[in-house]
């Protein structure tokens, strides 16, 4: 099953980035999570249909209205687990 791990940096914490990522990912039928990291970035692991993953990646490139995405790194070869459903991890 296709999956990726993304690290999103910029003004991405405290702007509903994780919540809106979860909403988008669930609409797309993806599994995985969004998680704030201590360095101020957001980590997103997603798994599912390649086309749906590409749509999520596009969303991550700009994020919700209040976000200011400065950089997006995506590892399409990520081999970790995504889990069932899409959720916020703490």
Q: Indicate which residues carry an active-site annotation.
A: 18, 36
Q: How far apart are CA 45 and CA 38, in angstroms?
A: 17
Q: How far apart are CA 75 and CA 81, in angstroms?
A: 14
Give the full edge-to-edge strand order of the sheet including 3-11: 68-75, 3-11, 42-47, 31-36, 86-89
């Amino acid at each position: 099953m296709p999956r990726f791990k993304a690290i999103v940096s910029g003004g991405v914490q405290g702007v509903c980035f994780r919540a809106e990522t979860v909403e988008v990912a669930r609409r797309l039928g993806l599994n995985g999570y969004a998680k704030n990291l201590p360095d101020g970035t957001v980590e997103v692991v997603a798994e599912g249909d390649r086309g749906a993953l590409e749509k999520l990646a596009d969303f991550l490139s700009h994020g919700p209205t209040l976000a200011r995405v400065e950089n997006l790194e995506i590892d399409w070869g990520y081999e970790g687990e995504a889990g069932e459903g899409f959720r916020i991890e703490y």
